[in-house]
Structure 1
Amino acid sequence: MIWVGGAPVQRFLQDVQYALRQLKKSPGFTATAVISLALGIGATTAVFSVIYAILMNPYPYAHTDRFMHMSLIDAEGKRQGFGLNSDQWRELKKSPVIEDAFVEDEWSLTVTGHDFPEDVEAGFESSNMFNFLGVPMLYGRGLQPSDAVDGHEPEPVVVLSYKFWQRHFNSDPSVVGQKLQMVHKDYTIVGIAPSRFTWGDVDVYVPQKIVEEPNHTFNTEIRLKPGVTRDQADAALLPLFQQFAKDRPQGFPKGSFKVHVLGLNDNFLQDLGGTLYLLLSAVALLLLIGCGNVSILLLARGTSRMHEFALRAAVGARRWRIVQQLLTEALLLSLTGAALGVGLAYLSLGKIVDTLPKYAYPHEAAIRINVPVLCFCVAVAILTGVIFGLWPALQMSRPDMSQVMQSGTRKVAGSVRGGRALGSLIAGQIALTMLMLAGAGAALEGFVKLTTVHLGYDPHNIMSVPIPVHENTYKTWADRANYFEQLKTRVAATPGVAMAAISTNATPPSNGGDTLFDILGRPSSQEQKARLNFVSPGYFPALKIGIAQGQIWSETENHNGAPVIVINETMARKYFPKGNALGGAIKLQLKDAPPFNLMAPGADGWLRVVGVIQDKLDDGLRNPVVPEMFVPYTLWMRMGTQILVRAQVSPLTLLPAIRKQIAAVDPEQQTISDPQDLEHWIMSEPEYEQERLVSWLFGAFAVLALLLAAVGLYSVVSYSVAQRTNEFGIRMALGAQREHIWKMAFRSMSVSVSVGVGVGLVLALALNKVVAHWAEGSSRDPLLLAGATMVLVLAAAIACAVPARRAAKTDPMVALRYE
C-alpha cells in the first residue's frame, strides 16, 4: 500500500518505518554501506586528530610563535650543538632581537630517605624559566627569580612534574609545602606542574646555580621580540656568536659558521610531518573509497528499484514523496555509519598514538578527537548518501508511463545511464585502491629493508645500563676510573651475565660524537672529522665486532689510560688510503674540565693506532657508515657511563640482580630507570619507528580499501545479475551454455576493472617521489606493481565470481518466471 497523505510527523514516522523495513530486507547491503562509512570516517578523523595535535597545536606555552631554538650551521652545512656559559647567556639577553632567554641543564638525582632509593631525572632551570613558559601550575607555584639569586646558593625548592606527582605521591595535592629528599638534601615542594607541562620530559624542576665558570655551559632557549623575523634574528645573532667563538673557541665550530633559529616545532615537523601527511593522504583515500562504495551500493540498488519508483508514480505518488522516502533511507544509512565512525575514531586514536615514534613528537601535545574534522567527515558521508540515494528517484520520479506498463522486468529507461555511472564509480574506486596497494607495498618494502640491514654487530641478548654519577662524587681521575672498573667487575660477576663492558657513548646503531682530529705528519684540516667513542676493550667481543687489522688495547692499558686508538675500516680507507693505518698517530681535541669531564695525563697528545675494526652501523639505520674512532674510556671520563651486558638469557630479566651488584659498590648509586636491550634500542631508532608506523598503518588502510573495493564490485555484479535474471533465463532456454552466462556476468565489470587498474598504475608511477620521500621502497618497483595488480585483479575476480556462479546455476524455468 502506498501512503500519500497525512500530517508531517506521521509521514516522517512512516518513512522511517518503511526505510527500516527496506534496510532490514537487505542486511548485506545495509551492513556494507554502514561499515564503509564508519571505516572512512573513523580512520580519517583519528589520523587528522593526531596531525592537528602534533603539528598544529602541540604546546601549552606562551608565545610559541616567538619561542625559538638556536643552532649553528658549520661550513659543511651541518647543524652543530653548542652551549653558553653564564656570561654569554647574560650578553645574549641584551640582544636587541631577544625579549627573554633562559638556561637549563639536566641531571639524574636520587630520592633518598626511603627504604628504596628512586632515580629521578631533574631539570636544573634558571629561575626565569617558568615565567618564560607562562603556564600556570596545577597546584602551588613555579620557580621564581627569588629562588636563585646570582652569587648565592639556590633555595632548596622543587616543582614536581605531573607524572612524577602521580607516581610518587599518588596525585595527592596536599604535598605542596612538604619536603622531598634528594641525594640527602631536603627540598620544599612548591608546585605541581599540569599534565601538558612536560618540558624536558624530566621528573622534577629545581633552580639552577649560575656558576661563573667559563667551561660550564648550559642549553639556552630564547624568545624573540614581537615583529622580529627569523632572518633578522639570524643576522643579529651572528656577530654575537662569532665573538663568543673567539672568547671560547672549544665550544663552537672551527672556521666559519652561521646562526639559525628554529621554531619550537620545526624539528618535529621535519622528522614526522611528512609521515603524518602521507598517512592523512592514505586515510583520505580510504574515506573516498568508502564513500565511493556507498555511492556504488546506493546507485546499484536504486537502479534495481526503478521499476518500483515508476509504479509508485504511476498510481499517484507525488515526486516529492518518492524523493522524501529515499532521503529518509539514505539519511538512516549515513547517520548510522557516522555514529559507528565516531566510535571507531575514539577506539583507533589510542592505537595510532601507541605506534608513533616515542621521541618524534612533542609530549606536550594533547592528542584528542578533532571535532571540526569529525563534523566534516560526517557531513561528507551524509552528502554522499543523500546524493547517490536520491539520484535514481530523481531520474525515475517522472517515468514514461507506456514504458512502465510494457516492462515486465526491472530494466527500465535510465538503467543504461545508471550503468555508466556505476562503471565510472567502480573504475575510480579500483584506481584509488591500486594506488593504496602500491603505496603500502612500497612502505612494507622499505620496512623489510630496514629490518634486514647488515648491522655489523650482534644485538641479541645484550643491553645497555646507563649509570649517572652524582655531583660532587668521584671527583678525581683515579677515583672515577676505579669506580667504573668496580661497577663493571661486579656486574660481570652477576649470575647469568656472560660479559660486561664499559660503553660511555658507543651504543649502536647511532653512537659517538663527531670530533675533529689531526694525523701525524699531515697538515691540520677542519674537514677531518670522525665519530669518537669511549669504551673498554671488552666492548668489541661483547658486541661480536670483528677485527680487520691489528688488535684491541689490553685491560692494563685501559686501566692506565694508555694513548692508543682503534679506527673502523671506513676511516682507514678514507684517511689512510695506502693501508698504513696501523702505527699511525692521531691527536684529538679533548679538554680537561673537572669535575664534569676528567682527562687522563697525555690524552691530549698523539694516540697510536693499534687496530682496525670491521665496519658496523654508527650513524643510524639508513645512513652509510661514517669514520669512527675508539679510545679507552679512561682517557676522558664524564659524570656517568653505560655498562653493556651480554647475558646467557634475556638480559632484562637480570636487572634486579645487576642493580644489587651496583648497590654493593655504592648503596646510593642508581641506574637510569628504563634500560633497554639493544634489539629494543634498534626499534627505538626514529627511522625504524617511522618506517614501522608508515608500513603497518598504510598496509592496514590498503587492506581495508581492497576489501571495500571487492565488496563494492560484488554488490554491483550481484545487482546486475539480479536485474538480468529474466534475460539469462531466456538465453538458457534458447540454448546458451552456463559458461556463456558466466562470461556475460564477468564481462559486465571487466572494462571498469581494467580502466581502474590502468589509472591506478599511472597514479602510482606519477606519485612515486611523494611515496619514496617517506618510505624506503619505491611505488615504481615492477615486481611491486605486478604484485599489487595481481592482488587487485584476484580480489575483483573473486568478487565477480560468486554472483556469476549463482547466475550460471539458475534454473531457466525459474529465471523465466523471475520478476
Structure 2
Amino acid sequence: MFLQDVKYALRQLRSSWGFAALAVITLALGIGANTAMFTVVENVLLRPLPYPGAGRMVFIAPAGESRIGAISYLNYRDIRDQSQTLETVAGYSEDVAVIEGKEGGVSVTAPHLTTNALTMAGAQPLLGRIFTEAEGRSNGPQAVILSEALWRQNFSADPRIIGQTIRVSGVPHTVVGVMPASFRFPETIGDDLTKGIWLPLQPSDEMLKDRGYNFFNVVAMMRPGVSLTAATQEIRGIAMRIRRQNGKDAAHVDFRVSSYQDTVTGNVRPVLWALEGALGLVLLIACANVANLLLARCLGRRQEFAVRAALGASRWRLVRQLLAEGLALSILGCSFGLMLAWAALASLNKLPSGTIPRANSIGIHWTVILALGAIATLTTVLSSLLPAVIVSRTDPQPALQASSRGLGSRSVSGKLSGWLVAGEVALSAVLLVGTGLLFHTLWNLEHTHLGYDTEHITRFTVMPADAAGFSALAVSTDTANAPASVADTIYQPALERIRQLPGVAGAALATTPPLSGGDLSSSFDIVGHPTQDNNKRETRLSAASEDYARAQGTPLLRGRMIAASDTASTLPVVVVNEELVKQYFHGFDPIGQQLSFGGKDTGMVKPYTIVGILANEADHGPGSDPQPFALIPYRQIPTTSLFYPALLKTFVIFTVKTRGDIAIAPEMRAVFKEIAPGYALDNFQTMQEALDQNTFSQRLGLYLTASFAGLAVVMVIAGLYGVLAQLVSYRRREIGIRMALGATRQSIAQMILRQAGILIVAGLAAGLALSMLAGRLVKSYLYEIKTLDPGTYIGVIVALLMIGTIASLLPARSASSIEPMEALRED
C-alpha cells in the first residue's frame, strides 16, 4: 500500500519539477554537508584506534601539561615496575634520523620504542619480525624496522632487505622488518610515520641517571575491568612515592592518565563537534525550508485533498501520502547529498599533513550509511510533519466551498510558515555571529606584532649524516680530545657560501627560530644573584649564527647581536629577549651580567655574558605569549657539553632572506652536496607559508563556518521569499478589496514589508539570544575579542535586515501591482 503512495508521490513530483528540484537541492546541500562532517567525526572521534584492546589504552603524561607530554625514563620504569592496574606499560620517544637515499641523506621520522610497544599495538610485519628484548637493552644490537612506503621508495621493494645493513644517522643498523602502510604507531606522531622507521629504545647513560630528562612518552594498557579513575589513582600514588624517595630531584613529579584515543584526537575534538553542531543548524534550516515548500504545495492542493476525503479517503491515507512525498524528496536529497559528501571528503587529501589526526582512515563506512538513513528519516519527519498535521485536521466541506484563494494570513498554515522562517533567521544569526567572531579573531592574529619579518624569507632544515637522537644524546667528556664542532667544519662554510649567491640578502641559522615548533628549555643562574628560596630560573635556549637578527627581521633593542668573531676561543656571550629581562632582572642592568646554563652535569662550564637585548618574538605564532629566551653563538657551544648534540647534532634551521620571491632549494642543495653530501635538507618553506600553517586551523574554522552561514543565508532568502510570495498569492482577493476601498499601492507594499519585518525581527531576537549562549563554546578560540562583541552583533543585525529587505522586495512589488478588479473577479 505504501509503495503505491510512493509511486504516486513520484508522479506528483515529476509534474511539479520546479518545486521538486528546489526541495531536493536544499536537502542535498544540508544532508551532504552533514554526511561529510559526520564521516569525519565518526572516523576520527568515535571509531576505536586500530589496536587490539584500544579502549583500554591510556596515555600517561605530566600533570597540568598539554594533552601530549613526556616524562623521564626513570619515572617510566617506576610506573612499569610498581603498577598493578596496568597490564602493559610501554613507551617511545619521538625522534628523527638520517638514512642514505639515492641522492644523499634523507630525513625520516624515527620513534624509539620499548620492545613491548609493538606487541601491545598488535604489530604484524609485512616482512621480517618486530624487536627482541635484547635489542631494547643498553648497548644491544642495532636494529631497524622500515615503513612500507620507505621500503618501496628507497629500497625498490626488495624482499631481500631483511638482514641487510643500512646506516641510520651514521650508525650501521640491521633491517629486521617492514611494517605495512596501514600500521601507525605511535598515532600521536601522525602522517609522518608513513615514510618513517622504528628503532628500539636503548636507554642511554643520561636517561638512566637524570630523572629530569623528559623525552619519554608512556602508553599503557589497563587490565580488563580496570577503570580510568582507578588507574589514575594508582599512578598518582606512584608519583607520590617517587617524590618522597627522590627529594628535590623529583619535587614536582606528578602524572595524569587519559584515554589514548582522547590524547590522539584531543586537539580537534571540540572543533569537530562545534562544526558538526553548526551543520546541524544548517540541516534544520534546510528541513524548515522544505517544510515551507511542502506547506505551500499542500495549501495549493487542499481542494484535491478535500475531494479525496469526500470520496472516502481516510485522514491517515492523506497523511501517508504527504509522508511518502517527503520520503521521496529525502531519498533523492540523500542520494545527491552522498555525492556531495564524497566530493567534500576527497578534498581532505589537500589539507596539510597533521591537520586532522587519523585522516588516512577517513572513509564512508556502514555506520555512516546508517547515519545517512537516520538523517533521511529525520528530514522526512521534520519536513512532512507540519503539512501532514494540517491536512489531517482539514474539514473537507469548508475546503470544497472555499475559494481557492480564500486562505488568509491568519490561517494556521500561514502562521506556521512564518514561524519556520523566523526560526531559519534565528539559526542563521547564530552562524553569522560565529563567523563574525572568528573573522575578527583571524584579523587580530594576522595584524598582531610578531617581532620578525615574513616577506622574502625562506627556511629549511638541515640534519647531519650522523644526526644525534633526542632520546639518547651521547656526550663526550674527553676535553683533551674534543671533536671539532660541526659549526666550524660544515655550517659556517655553508653560510658563507650561501651569502655569496645571487639574490641572497642575508643568511643565518638557528636551532629553534620562531614557528619552528621546537623548544629546548634550560635552567640558568645569574652569577652573583642567587634566587630566593632556591627557585629555578627557566628559559628557552637556542643557538644561532651571526646575521640572525637581520635575516629574521627581529629588532635589537640594546647592545649588540651575535658577531662572526664570537667563536670558541673568545669570551662566551649571550643575547636575551625582553621577557627574560622582565621576569628575572629587577633593579639592575642585564647588560654585562653573566648567565650559567644547565648546571655542572651539562658540561657548560663557562658563564655567558649578556651583550644584547632582543625584542620579543611570537615564537609559537600570532597570539602566543612571550617566553624568556636566550640566544647563544652556535660556535661557542662546547662539543663536550650536553647542549652540543641537543642543539647542533640533531638538526638546525637555516633562514635565508632574498631580494624578491625566488626559489632557493636547488642552490641550497648544491651547496650542501659539495660541502656535506650526506646531510639531509628538508622542509623548504617561506616564513609566510609557516605563518599560514600556524594559523591554518583558525582560517579553516572561519572558512567552514562562513560557508555554513552563507548556505544558511541563501536558504533564509529562499524561505522568506517563498513565504511572502505564498502570502501574496493567497491574499490576492483581500488585497484587491483593500485597494478597492482606497488603499494605495505604497501602503500594500508596506504591509508586505511589515510582515517580513516582523518575521526577521522575531528571528533576530531569538538568534541573538542563542548566540550569547553559544558564545561560550567558541570562547577558547577567540583572540582579543569578546564573545559579546558589539560590532559583530550590530553587523549581523544590519546584514540580516538588509537580506530580509532584499528577499521581500519582489513579493512586495508583486502585491502592489495587483489589479483590484482582476483580483475580485477570480473564482
Q: Which residue identity does 1:351 align to in structure 2?
A: S
Structure 1 equivalent of residue 43 of structure 2:
53
Match among 64, 69, 73 for residue 84 of structure 1: 73
Work out the CA distance in 2 between the residues paired with 1:697 and 1:175. 49
1:311-350 pair list within 5 angstroms? 311-314=307-310, 319=315, 322-350=318-346
Structure 1 equivalent of residue 300 of structure 2:
304
Structure 2 equivalent of residue 653 of structure 1:
663
Structure 1 equivalent of residue 382 of structure 2:
384
Q: Which residue identity does 1:23 align to in structure 2?
A: S
**Cα pair distance change 1:281/1:352, threshold 3 Å:** farther
Structure 1 equivalent of residue 184 of structure 2:
197
Match among 367, 372, 375 for residue 374 of structure 1: 372
CA apart distance, 1:468: 1.6
Structure 1 equivalent of residue 725 of structure 2:
718
CA apart distance, 1:518: 1.7
CA apart distance, 1:708: 0.8
Q: Which residue identity does 1:621 align to in structure 2?
A: P
1:52-201 pair list within 5 angstroms? 52-57=42-47, 59-73=49-63, 81-84=70-73, 92-97=79-84, 98-105=86-93, 107-112=95-100, 114=102, 117-137=105-125, 139-145=126-132, 148=135, 150=137, 153-154=140-141, 156=143, 158-165=144-151, 167-168=153-154, 174=159, 177=162, 179=164, 181-182=166-167, 185=172, 187-188=174-175, 190-199=177-186, 200=189, 201=192
Work out the CA distance in 1 between the residues paired with 2:718 and 2:805. 11
- Once the two structures are superposed, residues 47-89 of structure 1 have per-residue CA deviations (whole angstroms, 9 ceiling, x without a partner) of 2222222223352123334433333348x9999744326xx76
- Once the two structures are superposed, residues 77-132 of structure 1 have per-residue CA deviations (whole angstroms, 9 ceiling, x without a partner) of 999744326xx765543223343333444554444374555443333433333112
List gaps (5 residues or longer) in structure 1.
1-7, 594-598
CA apart distance, 1:712: 0.6
**Cα pair distance change 1:505/1:351, threshold 3 Å:** same
CA apart distance, 1:378: 1.7
**Cα pair distance change 1:259/1:779, threshold 3 Å:** closer
Structure 1 equivalent of residue 782 of structure 2:
775
Work out the CA distance in 2 between the residues paired with 1:709 and 1:735. 34
List gaps (5 residues or longer) in structure 2.
469-474, 477-481, 638-642
Match among 5, 8, 14 for residue 15 of structure 1: 8
SS in 1 for 2:680: coil
Work out the CA distance in 1 between the residues paired with 2:406 and 2:357. 57
**Cα pair distance change 1:301/1:145, threshold 3 Å:** same
Structure 1 equivalent of residue 484 of structure 2:
478
Work out the CA distance in 1 between the residues paired with 2:502 and 2:289. 61
Figure out how many residues of one structure are paired with residues of the other and give that number. Answer: 784
Contact 2:294 2:384 in 1 (8 A): no
Work out the CA distance in 2 between the residues paired with 1:722 and 1:415. 14
CA apart distance, 1:21: 3.9
Contact 1:356 1:693 in 2 (8 A): no
Work out the CA distance in 2 between the residues paired with 1:553 and 1:13. 80
CA apart distance, 1:569: 1.8
CA apart distance, 1:787: 0.7
CA RMSD of aligned residues (A): 3.3
Identity of aligned residues (%): 25
Structure 2 equivalent of residue 738 of structure 1:
745
Match among 773, 784, 803 for residue 811 of structure 2: 803
- Once the two structures are superposed, residues 674-713 of structure 1 have per-residue CA deviations (whole angstroms, 9 ceiling, x without a partner) of 332222222222xx22211221111111111111111111
- Once the two structures are superposed, residues 458-509 of structure 1 have per-residue CA deviations (whole angstroms, 9 ceiling, x without a partner) of 0222232211223389984523231222232233333332211120123347
Work out the CA distance in 2 between the residues paired with 1:186 and 1:512. 29
- Once the two structures are superposed, residues 376-412 of structure 1 have per-residue CA deviations (whole angstroms, 9 ceiling, x without a partner) of 212211222331342332132x42x2x3454233325
Question: When the two structures are superposed, what TM-score results if normalisation uses the length of structure 2?
Answer: 0.86
Work out the CA distance in 2 between the residues paired with 1:452 and 1:30. 47
Contact 1:60 1:135 in 2 (8 A): no
**Bigger shift: 730-739 or 424-433?**
730-739
2:548 aligned with 1:551: no
Match among 493, 500, 512 for residue 507 of structure 2: 500
Question: When the two structures are superposed, what TM-score results if normalisation uses the length of structure 1?
Answer: 0.87
Work out the CA distance in 1 between the residues paired with 2:246 and 2:62. 11
SS in 1 for 2:561: coil
Q: Which residue identity does 1:683 align to in structure 2?
A: D
CA apart distance, 1:664: 0.8
Work out the CA distance in 2 between the residues paired with 1:780 and 1:240. 48
Structure 1 equivalent of residue 581 of structure 2:
572
**Bigger shift: 786-795 or 734-743?**
734-743
Work out the CA distance in 1 between the residues paired with 2:590 and 2:699. 40
SS in 1 for 2:754: helix
Structure 2 equivalent of residue 3 of structure 1:
none
Contact 1:462 1:644 in 2 (8 A): no
**Cα pair distance change 1:362/1:518, threshold 3 Å:** farther
Structure 1 equivalent of residue 612 of structure 2:
611
**Cα pair distance change 1:209/1:315, threshold 3 Å:** closer
Work out the CA distance in 2 between the residues paired with 1:348 and 1:72. 38
Match among 783, 808, 815 for residue 823 of structure 2: 815
**Cα pair distance change 1:321/1:502, threshold 3 Å:** closer
SS in 2 for 1:261: strand
CA apart distance, 1:573: 2.9
**Cα pair distance change 1:630/1:378, threshold 3 Å:** same
Match among 655, 661, 665 for residue 675 of structure 2: 665
**Cα pair distance change 1:142/1:40, threshold 3 Å:** farther
Structure 1 equivalent of residue 471 of structure 2:
none
Q: Which residue identity does 2:613 align to in structure 1?
A: V
Contact 1:108 1:120 in 2 (8 A): yes
Work out the CA distance in 1 between the residues paired with 2:201 and 2:390. 77
Work out the CA distance in 1 between the residues paired with 2:486 and 2:435. 52
Q: Which residue identity does 1:140 align to in structure 2?
A: L
**Bigger shift: 715-724 or 40-49?**
40-49
Work out the CA distance in 1 between the residues paired with 2:154 and 2:66. 45
Structure 2 equivalent of residue 420 of structure 1:
415
